[in-house]
Structure 1
Amino acid sequence: MLGNDLPPPTEVINMYKLNQIGLMRIYEPNHEALKALRGSGINVLVGVRNDELQQLASTESAAEDWVAAYIRPYWPQVNFRYIAVGNEVIPGEVARYVLPAMQNLHNAWSSGVLNSIEQIKVSTAVAMSVLGESYPPSAATFSQDTAAYMVPIARYLNSIGAPLLVNVYPYFTYVENPSDVSLPYALFASESAVVIDDGLSYYNLFDAMVDAVYASLEKAGAPQVRVVVSETGWPSGGNGNVTTPSTAQKYNSNLIRHVLSSHGTPRRLGKSVET
């Protein structure tokens, strides 16, 4: 959605179909994109703009208006899968609005005529920075700055059967700790276990990061909440030999192979990581 000379939404949808990509994230409910998605069969994660959180948190009627404007006209022709109530706003000035906005949006379609949309799950997308400790994975917890928001959110997600959306970037962990993190470990290319934690063997950093979130959710009293990876990737330029097109391709192709397998993470074996 951001950039010059972008192809029209219909062309993007056709590209998805041609490459058999079944999941899409859009960061705000763009009407042209939603029109193009009708009948596509693509599962959509749609975002609520960060500047709308306060209003949506204030009243259920504001949430009902949002659903009426952006969900009702397109469902069920558009396969809405998740609604992300804000992107990486915890901690921050609007963090306190996330949970009430989630509750209002959930209530807006889980009653009345929209009762049948209950398969659409409401959540929020967070950065890995919501964790205080993250290594080893079993020691991970939500940080002091975020726990006041994340613990109630995690328990709410647990109660409604929704996942936590997490933006997971091994790249950042690698570039911030190059002496402690090997490039093969970050690129899913390590042939032996790099980290042994509580009897679990980690061959890649991605799994360790996802399991750190699982450990934090368990400590927050939300053991049933799944982690859905709402963003990941590797830059193809800007940081010397670490960010080349071939390195980015290696990360992305290895990632896809990994998450499409049924291997899961050491902490959640046999459960593929929706990404």
Structure 2
Amino acid sequence: MRNIERALSSAGLGKIKVSTVVTQTILAKSYPPSIGVFHQDAEPYIKSIVQFLAVTDAPLLANVHPYYAYQYEGGHNIAISYALFTSPGTVVKDGSYNYQNLFDAMVDALYAALERADGENVRIVVAESGWPWSGMMAATVENSRTYYENLISHVGQGTPRRPGVPLQTYLYSMFDEDCKQFGLFCHDKKALHSIAFS
């Protein structure tokens, strides 16, 4: 990352931010979100990454998939409404923070871990988030559409830990991959959803 940043600067492209992407598996603890902490094995690396991001004012990119957390629990300990942003009220109370959806809880667990790693000023950009429409547990076109629509309408509000701070978020994915049916479009370019992005 330092080498890439130096190369960009020497080419007169110093305004381009350099970052890297992490998944939730980098966390040793994430529930409740306020106890989020990075795995000990990752600490030597993540500390220097966080320091680099803080100095260069670059975000940490994170893949945030409530679907995989829901699937991992087999639908037993996580309500599908919590994963799909459809819970009518608070599901998890964490001190002064109230969580109505799993996405916010996952992002805030990363924020808590960043704070513990001296990265309280490092922002998060969600590099990918999505819900499959076929081939997996609770993977339906309706659930997929619900997730994407609710995600799009929600991310502008921030999270309980960062209220009012819009969370830049990228959908996973535009087209289906082999054995991964997360696409907004099938591999033959047929649209699965009619989603408004405004």
Give TM class, smaller chain: 0.7 to 0.9
Higher helix share: 1
Q: Distance in 2 between matches of 1:110 and 1:255?
A: 35
| Shift of residue 228, structure 1, vs aligned partner | 0.3
What is the correspondence of 1:178-193 to structure 2 with a 5 Å cutoff? 178-193=75-90
2:163 is the alignment partner of 1:269: yes
Displacement of 1:127: 1.1
CA distance in 2, matches of 1:193, 1:230: 26
Tell me the distance in 2 between the aligned counterparts of 1:139 and 1:172. 20
> Which one scores higher on RCO, CA 8 angstroms, separation ≥ 6?
2
Distance in 2, matches of 1:274 and 1:200, equals 21
Task: Provide the aligned C-alpha RMSD in A.
Answer: 1.0
Matched residue count: 168
Tell me the residue number matched to 1:109: 8
> Aligned residue for 1:127?
23
Q: What residue is the counterpart of 1:174 in the other structure? A: 70
Identity %: 46
Counterpart in 1 of 2:45?
149
- Alpha-carbon deviations, 1:2-28, whole Å to 9, x = none? xxxxxxxxxxxxxxxxxxxxxxxxxxx
- How far apart, in 1, do the equivalents of 2:71 and 2:2 lie? 37
Which of these two proteins has the greater Rg computed from alpha carbons? 1
1:205 to 98, 102, 123: 102
Q: Which amino acid aligns with 2:7?
A: A
Q: Which amino acid aligns with 1:107?
A: R
Q: How does 1:53-132 map to 2 (within 5 A)?
A: 102-111=1-10, 113-114=11-12, 117-132=13-28
- CA drift of 1:118 comes to 2.6
Q: Give the alignment's TM-score, normalised by structure 1.
A: 0.60
Q: TM-score, normalised by structure 2?
A: 0.82
CA deviation vs aligned residue, 1:215-245 (integer Å, no higher than 9, x gap): 00000011110000001100111124x1011
Q: Which residue identity does 1:140 align to in structure 2?
A: G
User: Structure 2 regions of 5+ residues with no counterpart?
Assistant: 170-198
1:163 maps onto 2:163 in alignment = no
